Amino acid sequence: MRALPVRVDAVLVQALIAAALSFAHLHDLASAAGQDGWKAWAYPVSVDLLMVAAWRRLRSGEAKAAGWCWFLVALAASLGANVATAGLLDLDDVPAWLRILVAGWPAVAFLGGTLLAHGAPKTPRAAADTEPPSTVTDSAPQPPATEVEPPVTVAELPSVEVGSAQPSSAPVPPALVALARKLADEHHARTGTPIDTPTLRARLGVPLPLAEAIAAQLI
């Protein structure tokens, strides 16, 4: 099995070296300020965690003012320890004000970490959860609705009796002929062709012999 090639990232190496040096400087300053044993090692961890939490708040884009505030506080603590251990201060005789700052740092770090972790506004729900689902409609154009005229039955005409086998020579009521002529005119105006007997029969709702007798009078 071939071993995967390991590529050394110069930026990552530089970051590790800088973090180790800053960690050591914070430890030395805390130790010189009277914080012995494990407490001296806890100080650099506290400073670095506060800086990481503030940076994550800045990257999230929410409450940037609080993120910048606590990021600058952690940066000042880290940078101050680096400068203080560079020979500007006598670590064997640390001034009282520095001892006060080092002793009060845990409370400051706890407050900043708590506000950064629990002070972020709640993320609003997605629009898809709050908005009602949209109704999908057919975008295809619909054909225009055509007006369907209901068939006119003989029962609607007064004093008209229709037999089931009425001969074509039987007299047709004038009212029925007038109605048939009106339907024929409307059919001709709409289609451009004379109305035929089956269509006239369907529109009037009469038997075929009577429809033939009416069509004969329309000629």
208: Cβ–Cβ under 8 A, 6 or more apart, which residues?
A: 197, 201
List helix spans (H) across 34-95. Answer: 38-60, 64-83
pLDDT tens readout for residues 154-167 = 444 444 444 444 44
Higher pLDDT, 112 or 9: 112
Buried b (16+ CB within 10 A) or exposed e, 135-152: eeeeeeeeeeeeeeeeeb
Residue-level pLDDT at 169: 55
pLDDT tens readout for residues 105-151 = 988 888 888 888 876 555 545 444 555 545 444 455 555 555 555 55
pLDDT tens readout for residues 68-115 = 888 898 888 888 888 888 777 777 788 888 888 888 898 888 888 888
Report whether 123 contacts 95 (CB < 8 A). Answer: no
**pTM (2 d.p.):** 0.46
pLDDT tens readout for residues 171-205 = 777 888 888 888 888 888 888 888 888 888 888 88
User: Which residue, among 46, 25, 44, has the nearest Cα to 89 in the 3D structure?
Assistant: 25
Pull the structure tokens for residue 131. 């908005």
